[in-house]
Amino acid sequence: MDNLNLISNFAEFKELKNIDKSTMIGVLEDVFRHLLIKTYETDENFDVIINPEKGDLEIWRNRQIVEDGQVENPNRQISLTDARKLDPTYEVGEEVADEIKLDSFGRRAVLSLRQNLASRILDLEKANLYEKYKEKVGEIVTGEVYQVWKKEVLVLDDEDNELILPKSEQIPSDFFRKGDTIRAIVSKVEMRNNTPAIILSRTAPEFLERLFELEVPEIFDGLITIKKIVRIPGERAKVAVESYDERIDPVGACVGMKGSRIYSVVKELRNENIDVVNWTSNTQLLIQRALNPAKISSIHLDEGKKTASVYLKPSEVSLAIGKGGLNIRLASMLTGYDIDVYREVEEEDVALDEFSDEIDQWIIDQLKAIGCDTAKSVLEIPAEELARRTDLEDETIREVIGILKAEFE
């Protein structure tokens, strides 16, 4: 249990955990000085010399030579007779330096020192890991799936550091096995019970943004700017882009020839559909682009309430709403406006609100929610389909259909 053994163990640890030389020396010296204070009640008259390259560590005690019989503090003073045992030329008043061997502290003290050293190194390792990943928040990292649990996936980076991908941060169609390579962004780094927890995400808009930077050089170079990204992970996303160079078509650059650039992004996101639109500060035009592929007839904005009433031909309503309402939800998220879609009322048609004296308002609201704003738009849909798409009972639907039909008879 000598000095050399202790240092060589530390040197191996240093190689594994990548702790820099100056930090290593500082920790070693601090740990040994703590042992000196515990043993001798002071470390002021000791020199701790460390050579990490050779694995050498020496502790020297400096004491003043006094006349025999006048030693008051054996830690700071040494008698002339004892001093001359080290060197016969010593005289009273001179200073003697003698080496303290590690085994002189006793087995228990050395064991305690080892534990203290291991604890300090572990704290350093945690601090280094925390700082390393704190700087990587928002960046893509690649790792290997080590363990798959119900609520999270444990991922190891190339230095075997543990990263966590919670279920809530996974794309719904994600499926991982042990050994799979995985890409995600560092979402946040936090301390849990004095241990850094590195949380990954594949659902954050920033993950999609980083993927575009990797696939589209113009974005990486700053020629194209991503103004906003909204996602319903695994289903659909809308990306608004802008170019400061008139010669560059931002949408075309992001999509690539025959979709070559966007294909890699879509594949990484488990076939998530991605709409790329030209950004504009004109709200009406942005709403129009966001609701693509639907063709809009007119838009009425209420900027105070941040609402937009969009009118379309009956054949365009389903396109604007999209499958499961995804298109209109994402368009609202992208523009910051609550968007209500209405069918253009034809001359011979009648708006549902005109029947408010015969049909309860909550029933009218239910029909509007599925894109039916007029009498004919309701009558065009079979009763079974109306029952399936709304919460209305069959009897209520029959009554409504009867009232609406009577209007045209």
| Tally of structural domains, the chain | 5
Q: What pLDDT is attached to residue 51?
A: 73
Domain that holds residue 18: 3-131
For residue 248, the model assigns a pLDDT of 92
Predicted pLDDT of residue 17: 55
For position 353, what pLDDT does the model report? 87
State whether 10 and 107 are in the same domain.
yes
Find the CATH number of the domain harbouring 90.
3.30.1480
Q: What is the pLDDT of residue 163?
A: 96
Same domain, 9 and 127: yes
Whole-structure pTM value: 0.67
> In this structure, what CATH number is given to the domain that contains residue 332?
3.30.300.20
Output the pLDDT for position 50: 77
Q: How many CB atoms sit inside 10 A of residue 91's CB? A: 9
Whole-angstrom distance, CA of residue 187 vs CA of residue 56: 43
CB 219 within 8 A of CB 212: yes
Same domain for 13 and 117, yes or no, is yes
pLDDT tens digits along 357-402 = 889 999 999 898 888 888 888 988 888 888 888 888 989 999 999 9
Answer positive or negative: Cα dihedral of 260, 265, 268, 270.
Answer: negative
CATH of the domain at 154: 2.40.50.140
Q: How many CA atoms lie within 13 A of 180 on its CB side?
A: 13
Which of 203, 223, 244 is the last residue before a domain boundary?
A: 203
Give CA–CA dist 392/376, Å, rounded. Answer: 18
Between CA 238 and CA 292 the distance in angstroms is 10
Residue 140 lies in a domain: no
Q: For residues 156-169, b (16+ Cβ closer than 10 Å) or e, as one string?
A: ebeeebbbbbeeeb
Domain assignment present for 136: no
137 located within any domain: no
Q: Are 8 and 85 within one domain?
A: yes
Residues 286 and 377 in one domain: no
119 burial via Cβ count (<10 Å: 0-12, 13-18, 19+): exposed
Q: Indicate whether 358 belongs to any domain.
A: yes
* Domain presence at residue 386: yes
Residue 112 and residue 41 share a domain: yes
Residue 316 falls inside a structural domain: yes
Give pLDDT tens digits along the chain (409 positions).
344 455 555 555 545 455 666 777 787 888 888 888 888 888 888 888 877 666 577 888 899 988 988 888 888 888 988 888 888 888 888 898 888 887 777 778 778 777 887 788 788 888 889 999 999 999 999 999 999 999 999 999 998 899 999 999 999 999 999 999 999 999 999 998 888 999 999 999 999 999 999 999 999 999 999 999 999 999 999 999 999 888 899 999 999 998 999 999 999 999 999 999 999 999 999 999 999 999 998 999 999 999 999 999 888 999 999 988 999 999 999 999 999 998 876 556 788 888 888 899 999 998 988 888 888 889 888 888 888 888 889 899 999 999 988 887 6
154 and 121 in one domain?
Answer: no
Specify the pLDDT at position 266.
95
Amino acid at 222: G
Q: Is 139 part of a structural domain of the chain?
A: no
pLDDT tens for each residue of 102-149: 777 777 877 877 788 778 878 888 888 999 999 999 999 999 999 999
> Hey, CA dihedral for 262, 265, 270, 275, is it positive or negative?
negative
pLDDT of residue 12: 54
Q: Is residue 138 part of a domain?
A: no
Question: Pick from 244, 271, 298: which residue ends a domain?
Answer: 271
Task: Enter the tokens of residue 196.
Answer: 């850094």
Do residues 189 and 137 touch, judged by C-beta distance below 8 A?
A: yes
Write down how long the chain is: 409
Return the amino acid letter for 89.
Answer: T
Residue 391 confidence (pLDDT): 84
Same domain, 165 and 261: no
Asked if 49 and 80 sit in the same domain, the reply is yes
- Do residues 337 and 382 share a domain? no
- CB of 43 closer than 8 Å to CB of 117: no
Question: Can you tell me the distance from the alpha carbon of 133 to that of 189, in angstroms, rounded to the nearest whole number?
Answer: 7
Same domain as 107, residue 15: yes
Instruction: Give the integer Cα–Cα distance in Å for 246 and 19.
Output: 50
Q: Within this chain, do residues 45 and 109 fall inside the same structural domain, yes or no?
A: yes
Q: Which of 131, 163, 185 is the last residue of a domain?
A: 131
Q: Which of 316, 290, 288 is nearest to 300 (CA)?
A: 288
Position 39 scores a pLDDT of 83
What is the Cα–Cα distance from 317 to 371, expressed in whole angstroms?
7
